Amino acid sequence: MFSLPPGAYIVRYREYVKIPDDCIALAIPRSSLLRMGATLYTAVWDPGYKGRGYGLLAVFNNRGIVLEKGAQIAQLVYIKMTGRTSFTYRGTFYGER
């Protein structure tokens, strides 16, 4: 269990994902996280990305929050692209574990 006072925290997602070449994905905070007074800041997950991503957890609740280890804090939403991408992700974080 993690007791987090107000502040910003880097979180690493538990699941290893593979974004299809014809999609992008967005990590959206779960409503239970929002009700506690916290949110996630994330970026677009590029077509072809494989790995475990990171996000920025921001705790705004003046009393802090408590999270259990392995708590589900985000939902990954896939968006199918209407056109093809010029290239798929092969950057620094490709295949990270």
**Per residue in 22-42, pLDDT tens?**
999 999 999 999 999 999 999
Q: Kindly state the tokens that stand for 93.
A: 């974080």
Q: What is the pLDDT of residue 93?
A: 62
pLDDT tens digits along 52-85: 999 999 999 999 999 999 899 999 999 998 877 7
With a cut of 60, say whether residue 97 has pLDDT above it: no
- Say if CB 46 and CB 86 are below 8 A apart: no
Question: Which domains are assigned to the chain?
Answer: 2-80 (2.70.40.10)
